Amino acid sequence: MLSVHFLPDNVTVQASAGANLLQLALEAGVHINAACGGDGACGKCRVLIKSGTTESRECEKLPPDDYAQGWRLACRTTVLSDVVVQIPHETKLDMKSVREARVHAHETRYAVSAAANIALSEVSPPPVAKYALTLTPPSINENAADLTRVQRSLKKTFNLHAASIDHSALKALPHVVRSSNWQLTASVLGRRILSLEPGDSSAAQYAAAFDIGTTSLWGQLIDINGRSVLAEVSSYNPQIQFGDDVISRIVYSQKKDGLARLQQTVAAELNQLLAELLDKSGIEAATLSHITAAGNTVMTHLLLGIDPKYLREAPYVPAAVIVPQLQASAVGLAVPECVPLFLLPCVASYVGGDIVSGVVASGMYDSEKLTLYIDIGTNGEIVIGHRDWLMTASCSAGPAFEGGGLTCGMRAAPGAIEGFNIDEGTLEPMIVTVGRKRPRGICGSGAINILAAFMQAGIIARNGKFDRSFFPQRIREGAAGVEYILTPAELSATDADIVITESDIDNVIRAKAAMFAGYHALLEKAGLAFSDLQQVIIAGAFGDYIDLENAIAIGLFPDIPRDRYLFIGNGSLLGARCGALSDRCLQLAETVARKMTNIELSEDHSFMDKYISGLFLPHTDSALFPTVTERLARKGKSSS
Amino acid sequence: MLSVHFLPDNVTVQASAGANLLQLALEAGVHINAACGGDGACGKCRVLIKSGTTESRECEKLPPDDYAQGWRLACRTTVLSDVVVQIPHETKLDMKSVREARVHAHETRYAVSAAANIALSEVSPPPVAKYALTLTPPSINENAADLTRVQRSLKKTFNLHAASIDHSALKALPHVVRSSNWQLTASVLGRRILSLEPGDSSAAQYAAAFDIGTTSLWGQLIDINGRSVLAEVSSYNPQIQFGDDVISRIVYSQKKDGLARLQQTVAAELNQLLAELLDKSGIEAATLSHITAAGNTVMTHLLLGIDPKYLREAPYVPAAVIVPQLQASAVGLAVPECVPLFLLPCVASYVGGDIVSGVVASGMYDSEKLTLYIDIGTNGEIVIGHRDWLMTASCSAGPAFEGGGLTCGMRAAPGAIEGFNIDEGTLEPMIVTVGRKRPRGICGSGAINILAAFMQAGIIARNGKFDRSFFPQRIREGAAGVEYILTPAELSATDADIVITESDIDNVIRAKAAMFAGYHALLEKAGLAFSDLQQVIIAGAFGDYIDLENAIAIGLFPDIPRDRYLFIGNGSLLGARCGALSDRCLQLAETVARKMTNIELSEDHSFMDKYISGLFLPHTDSALFPTVTERLARKGKSSS
């Protein structure tokens, strides 16, 4: 690891060789002016390399004389050695706490992957076990059936009694036992022999694990014996063409052939991902042992071809939450008949297998710490509890956190404004986009960062309205109301201004208010307060990109000590992987799903009251956000 | 029942109105001359009706004057009231013992059907149970999944815990529960919900039971709740086109696509039978709950599409004997996916599910009596034992008992000579064919009756050779050696003489010697003698038509008290029906199959010795057949 030291902040961060300097500054909480997202178009992110080796593409925005003196555009520069960087203007913003939170988040992210590794390395047999058997050949005096021989060997060698056999395996049996001198390997699920191979192939066992998200599909190919991931792939869920969110998919499923089309569409894409996984890892489909998948309740219903109609109608009843194991081929997956599919169990119509999967993979189900588990998306899911009890709820946050419902909203794809900062002295913004492309729009985590920066700089008031006197050159009356120009048309990728409107800000506030009211209402039902929380687990890819301090600043996450936060990334995929590796994990998932008490918040008065209180930055009740309130007060004092 | 009294024999038999007089005489052991099989062509079966009402078609062979005096042709006459019949010539043959045996056989046949009824009426749930459920409708405060509701109801109402559900049933679940006000009926196998219907349909449950014989297929449609057979059908097994016996089918299975063709052919015919069953009983395929089937080991392998190659090669190892339950649709049966198929378990390559089925249905497995169970066919299967132990073997009897391997052999179809008798005074034969059509050939039971009559009349010697001096007008040197003309060409249906040759007789003797050597060798292995047998059960349609006394006379069945004999007809079909009605019967079949020790006789020296000793009528060791020997000795004395 290299060391990069920023002056005058006196902040040092660890970096890999080749890391981008603008990105490093953002992650370190060091402000560098940047208006074009990191595309090299605005020329504002000039820095002076005081020592060390960097590589930097030349750029018309940087005069050759300046380049000769050591000036570089941070967005165009990668570090190749330990480097000391001088930033040419002093930042007024106190970024220290933010920086610490970021560094801490980085550490906890590492910590949880260690925790996950422990879960994943647990020595527990997979749901489908491969047993190598050596049979006694028959003679005229002992001519018991082939299957009887296999059953005896399973009993004697592996203490597995009364095994039955699937029809396809039985058809293969006479040839398999005789093709390799009465040595064979049986793949067994519970007491069912699913398939047979000649010789000893027990060392080669592979499974696939999928996360079936409303927006994205993720897959991993897993080497069961090596307990490793051989390949990982992802793609959009192509059901998006029939509707962005679960509700619109349910609506589509009620059309003629709608359900079948939704089912086939996702199955086809999973087959595509599976083919990629096999291709990447050099594994043949015929050697695949089993498949696990986790998805929310609607995705689970759709994959199984079950009408999701009643998930959407009060009283919101799923067809099933604990789905029986079935043949993967029965849902259209292009694998041999003998490959079973295990779906992580759901809890209720809006608390699905993705959440159960994460609760198991994160170890929350077994923790003594009172834990809040949060998965943020269009539907935010919340779990509160510890090893003795678990309560869960979902709240409809709306699409703001996925970039939906914003005038210039977009998913976290290249060009999405994500990193955002304002120099309170110069009021210059620091804009860094995903992939450092010219800005195309704002993604969910970007919106949170923008709101937090606006709050901190006083650009918006506690009710989310712009202070129009404050920053007139960037605030104007647009077609959709009052708006702030993040990127002017000439620097954007869309040839239009990238703006955020008061109405956009209102949408983000509603979204965070719904989430926060959810935790609050659940805690209250359990007779607990935020201060009782010993651990907060943030799941989901969105959580991976979110800035913890900013999320707390706007009132999305509770204002408790930052070291209680843990980020687990895609908990759904992690749990699916754990299930593929360990039958005990699959069993645990059922136990956990049964243990989780679902609370319907949609018709809960306490939730509604709390939601109204949350429509303020960070909250109407400032006592709930002591550190945020204190920082705003300090800033108010220092600026007044 | 009517009473028919034959003079001068002074024999009375019970008869139904409309019964045929020639048939009644045959069954009563009363000789009436008949040469044309009962077709009205020879005019020999003249009888005088002394009293009572009969109906008789006129016939050119009976002059009108004789008709006016009360003479009738027995083959054309049916009885309509109590009748006294005078037979115009005295029979010299002492038929008393034969008659008693026949009457006894009739009684035991009745007795066993009563025993079967007890087995069939046993109150034990069927393998697939239908449970009518009334669910609590969901509310916003209690919105557990549909499946959870069903599981709770099964647990509470029927004490059935942790039920799982098949994919197809799960897909139907949301609509089924809501279409009939939360009332539904679940079809459950073990703890698996196979299918669901709205409302309470538990009173309507139907199953099909099949016997899959090498030659014939039999099927029954069963009303589970009524414990009754709604329809019965049968047909030839169309696999016959690929080979008459199991060995030639195995040979065919090794050709390209041979196995698949054999599998599809029998499945298609079962579908045809199923369609007939449903049509006859007015039941819809969709309401079929489950299917049971029993067949020998080769038939079982072929139905499942399992290569039977190794059944035929030493050491004769089946792929499986206890076949796991599977979807009937998986073997090509045209029923919904949810319908399971239960195959009665086999014991070894040549002792199959048909035998296990009969051993269960006959109650032998639970009897305290030392029992010999015999199923006669191309392969004869034998079981010896009682409730504590069971030994089994098969012996290749050859096709003689199915009419194969005889010059004029045929199956027991219309025109087959079955009833046969010789008036020892006049040496006139009494020939009655199946369906009383003009003779076409000889069936297996007919061949036994012919041999017994030949022995009794002294037409053949103990070694099976004709006494050519004895009856010169019917014995001649034919193309295939010495032969006896049963029916001359002018009275036959084939316009050719129907004959039985010395070589035919030799084939029958070899067949009965193989069967007898089988019982004998098995008994000897158990350290037992024939006199220890407390019960002999004869299974198979062939057994239904066999004349017990004649079968003993030729040495096919052991010469022990006749009241120890029991005829159960198609034991395979009976057991399949028991299994369809009772899960306990299916479980028992597994237990019984495991309990049966198979003895391979094909390479057994003791068996070979006994076989050689059996190539004599009734046997080389006449002490084994005391009553037969005594009768022959008496006859020898009286005729000498």
State pLDDT tens for residues A369-398.
999 999 987 788 999 999 999 999 999 887
pLDDT single digits (tens) A55-78? 988 777 888 888 888 888 888 899
Question: Which residues of chain B, if any, have pLDDT below 70?
Answer: 89-123, 470-472, 637-640
In a domain, B113, yes or no: no
Query: Pick from B143, B147, B309: which is nearest to A319 by CB?
Result: B147
A-B CB pairs within 8 A amount to 134
| Distance (Å) from the alpha carbon of A191 to chain B's nearest alpha carbon | 12
Last residue of a domain, one of B314, B343, B372: B343
Which residues 434-463 in chain B show a CB within 8 A of chain A? Answer: none
- Dmax over CA atoms of chain B, in Å, equals 101
Residue A412 CB neighbours (<10 A): 20
**Residue B136 gets which letter from DSSP?**
P
Give, in order, the Cα–Cα distances in Å from B50 to each of B47, B53, B498: 9, 10, 35
CATH number at residue A273: 3.30.420.480
Contact A310 B174 (CB under 8 A): yes
Instruction: Report if residue A96 sits inside a domain.
Output: no
Inform me whether the C-beta atom of residue B393 falls under 8 Å from chain A C-beta atoms. no
Question: B524 and B379 in one domain?
Answer: yes
DSSP type of residue A331:
G
The closest CB to that of B305, out of A171, A318, A321, belongs to A171
Q: Is A309 in Cβ contact with B139 (below 8 Å)?
A: no
Whether residues B555 and B508 share a domain: the answer is yes
**Burial of A33 by CB count in 10 Å (0-12 exposed, 13-18 middle, 19+ buried)?**
buried
Q: Which chain B residues touch A349 with a CB distance below 8 Å?
A: 143
**If we measure between CA atoms, which residue out of A315, A279, A311 comes closest to residue A298?**
A311
∠ CA B399-B598-B618, rounded to 5°: 45
Alpha-carbon Rg for chain A, nearest whole angstrom, is 28
Number of helices followed by number of strands (H, E) in chain B: 18, 30
Sheet holding A535-539, edge to edge: A565-569, A535-539, A371-375, A379-386, A389-396, A596-598
Same domain for B174 and B226? no
In a domain, B603, yes or no: yes
Hey, are the CB atoms on B317 and A164 less than 8 Å from each other? no
Beta-carbon separation of A324 and B164 below 8 A: yes
Residues 308-327 of B with CB under 8 A from A: 309-310, 314-324, 326-327
Nearest chain B alpha carbon to A138: B315
Inspect the interface and report whether the beta carbons of A304 and B145 lie closer than 8 Å.
Answer: no
Statement to judge: residues B194 and B210 lie in one domain: no
Q: Alpha-carbon distance A357 to A575, whole Å? A: 4
Residue B167: which of A143, A146, A330 has the nearest Cβ? A330
* Residues of chain B with C-beta less than 8 angstroms from the C-beta of A140: 314-316, 600, 603
Query: Is A225 a domain residue?
Result: yes
Confidence of residue A102 (pLDDT cuts 50, 70, 90): very low
User: Distance, in angstroms, between B166 CA and closest chain A CA?
Assistant: 7
Question: Which of B145, B174, B324 comes nearest A164 by C-beta?
Answer: B324
- Supply the pLDDT for residue B117: 54
Residues A459 and A604 in one domain: yes
Residue B120 inside a domain? The answer is no
Q: Which of A285, A314, A343 is the last residue of a domain?
A: A343
pLDDT value at A11 more than 90: no
A321 neighbourhood in chain B, CB within 8 Å: 144-145, 147-148
Q: What is the pLDDT of residue A635?
A: 76
Looking at the fold, whether A323 and A368 belong to one and the same domain comes out as no
Cα angle B379, B384, B389 (rounded to 5 degrees) comes to 130
- Whether residue A545 is found in the same domain as residue A516: yes
**pLDDT at residue B122, as a whole number:** 60
Residues A76 and A218 in one domain: no
Other C-beta atoms closer than 10 Å to the C-beta of A92 total 17
Choose between A541 and A407: higher pLDDT: A407
Examine the domain organization and report whether A488 and A618 are in the same domain.
yes
Tell me, yes or no, if A304 comes closer than 8 A to chain B by beta carbon.
yes
A595-637 pLDDT, tens digit per residue, is 999 998 988 899 999 999 999 999 999 999 999 999 888 877 6
pLDDT of the residue at A122: 60
Q: Does the CB of B175 have a partner CB in chain A at under 8 Å? A: yes
Number of domains in chain A: 4
A253: closest CA of chain B, how far (Å): 14
| Residue B321 distance to chain A (closest CA, Å) | 6
Output the domain CATH number for residue A165: 3.10.20.880
**B-chain residues near A600 (CB < 8 A):** 140-141, 143
Chain B residues with CB-CB distance to A175 below 8 A: 307
CB contact under 8 A, B326 and A138: no
Which residues of B fall within a CB distance of 8 Å from A598?
143
Indicate whether A3 pLDDT > 70.
yes
Residues B305 and B374 reside in one and the same domain = no
**Token pair belonging to A519:** 């935790």
Task: Using a CB–CB cutoff of 8 Å, tell me whether A604 touches chain B.
Answer: no
Q: Which is nearest to B390 in space by CA: B203, B591, B557, B130?
A: B591
Same domain, yes or no: B187 and B211: no
Q: Is residue B96 part of a domain?
A: no
Three-class secondary structure of residue A499 per DSSP: strand
Neighbours of A142 (CB within 10 A): 11
Q: Are B322 and A600 within 8 A, CB to CB?
A: no
| Residues A600, B319: C-beta atoms closer than 8 Å | no
Write down which residue in B142, B175, B198 finishes a domain.
Answer: B198
Chain A contact for B147 (CB, 8 A cutoff)? yes
Q: Are B431 and B34 in contact (CB under 8 A)?
A: yes
Query: How close is the nearest chain B Cα to the Cα of A424, in Å?
Result: 50
Query: Looking at residues A402-413, what average pLDDT do you find?
Result: 85
- A600 at interface of B, judged by CB pairs closer than 8 A: yes
Cβ-Cβ contacts under 8 Å for A394 (sequence gap 6 or more)? A348, A350, A351, A379, A380, A381, A382, A518, A601
CA dihedral over A270, A275, A278, A280, signed as positive or negative: negative
| Pair (A330, A408) in one structural domain | no
**Domain carrying residue A167:** 128-198
Tokens encoding B269:
């015919």
What pLDDT does B44 receive? 80
Q: How far apart, in whole angstroms, are the C-alpha atoms of residue B640 and residue B635?
A: 8
Give A133-170 pLDDT, tens digit per residue.
999 999 988 999 999 999 999 999 999 999 999 999 99
Cα distances (angstroms) measured from residue B275 to each of A566, B236, B263, B268, B284: 64, 16, 18, 11, 9
Do the beta carbons of residue A502 and residue A464 sit within 8 Å?
yes
Compare CB distances from B320 to A170, A310, A315 and report the shortest one's residue. Answer: A170
